[in-house]
Amino acid sequence: MDLIALPASTKDRVTVGVDSMVERMAVQRPYFAFDTLYQTADADWDIWGNFKPEQPLGAEAGPLTLSECIRHLSTLGACAAALVQHPDERIHYLADHAIWTMHRAGLNTDRAMLFAARARVSARSGKRVEANAELLTAGGVSADLTVSYQALPAQVFDLAFADHGNAGCSPATRSPYRRMFPLLVLSLKRHAITACSVDYSAERCAGHFPDHPMWPVSVVLSGLCEVMSQLLAHEFQRSVEYTVMHAEMRALRLVAASEQLLFSATLMSVSLEGRVYSMSCSATHGRAVVVMLDAVVVIRRD
């Protein structure tokens, strides 16, 4: 299979064992979707990986959705952090803040090809880790992500989320991330939308902390992007394609996969030419905010 971008000659690569890495990070396939992990002679980057996109684009112009990019890049950032762990040590990396920047919109990239990404640890202090990651396509860097994590040893994580434990959860036979995110719209009016999740369960978050099925932040972002898409379609009175050019995400808590979430998006501002929209979004569980997202999107020209 061809690659979108190659970091260096393959002879300069040192393979990183995928099986060992997923054990250190407490994630499994299909949430972990990298086909290969490796290091190169480039001292500026800790780890590289290749993956094939799987999530439907919906109204996003691509080549990847925001939620899928953040899923893979934050996973690779956690891989960079896990490189220095003892092989038998298991640490859960909980992404709670991320800043995303797309450098090139409207890329017509073949989604059947493997994508390349790279990541490095930029800061580490106590139980906090920060990483930088980049998505590579033909011609260079297409997007970058700066992400911060809580790094919780397995014993601490198990104690903190004991109420969400489910060691008997069956492994997925097919990746649930290949399906569109189902939502029920509750309210749709000018500049604002509210919707709720439908039939979400442990099977829909397969591989993400498998013994503690909870809503992955990237899946919550899928729901937020879907309400953004529906709100933009309502504003234009037709379906429109868009690219998320900049976004800031804050994750405030983890919620059991069996719980229903509410997704809201509000249009905050529009550029004079009517192509650049600022959106403020949130996912809530009861009165508690789960994830907040502020995004700047660019409408694709017909």
Provide the residue ranges of all domains of the chain, joining segments of one domain with +: 10-299
Q: Tell me how far apart the alpha carbons of residues 91 and 110 are, in angstroms, rounded to a whole number.
A: 35
Tokens 């729901």, residue? 223
* pLDDT value at 7 more than 60: no
Tokens of 257: 């996969």
pTM of the model: 0.93
Beta bridge partners of 276: 298
Predicted confidence (pLDDT) per residue in 50-67, tens digit: 999 999 999 999 789 999
Instruction: Give the mean model confidence (pLDDT) for residues 221-226.
Output: 97
Radius of gyration of the chain (CA): 19
CA quadruple 70, 71, 74, 76: dihedral sign:
negative
Least confident of 71-85, 157-171, 235-249, 274-288: 157-171
User: Please, which residues bridge with residue 283 across strands?
Assistant: 263, 291
For 18-32, write each residue's pLDDT tens digit: 999 999 998 999 999
The mean per-residue pLDDT over the stretch 156-165 comes to 87
Residue 114 has pLDDT above 90, yes or no: no
Cβ proximity of 71 and 50 under 8 Å: no
Residue 107: what pLDDT? 59
Q: What span, in angstroms and rounded, lies between the C-alpha atoms of 160 and 158?
A: 6
pLDDT over 70, % of the chain = 90
Query: Residue 5 above 90 pLDDT?
Result: no
Cα angle 13-19-21, degrees, rounded to a multiple of 5: 70
- Determine the number of helices (DSSP H) and then strands (DSSP E) in the chain: 4, 13
Give which of 137, 130, 149, 134 is closest to 69, Cα–Cα.
134
Q: What is the pLDDT of residue 63?
A: 82
| Confidence band of 199 (pLDDT split at 50, 70, 90) | confident
Segment 8-21, tens digit of pLDDT: 556 678 999 999 99
> Does residue 97 register a pLDDT over 50?
yes
The whole-number average pLDDT for the span 84-93 is 91
pLDDT in the model for residue 171: 60
Say how many Å lie between the first and final Cα of the chain, rounded: 32
Among the CATH numbers 2.40.360.20, 2.40.160.210, 3.40.50.720, 1.10.3980.10, which is that of 10-299? 2.40.160.210
- Packing angle of the helix pair 217-236, 66-82 (nearest 10 deg): 160
Residue type, 32: F
**Predicted confidence band at 271 (pLDDT cuts at 50, 70, 90)?**
very high
Q: Are 227 and 234 in contact (CB under 8 A)?
A: no
Instruction: Give mean pLDDT, residues 203-225.
Output: 93
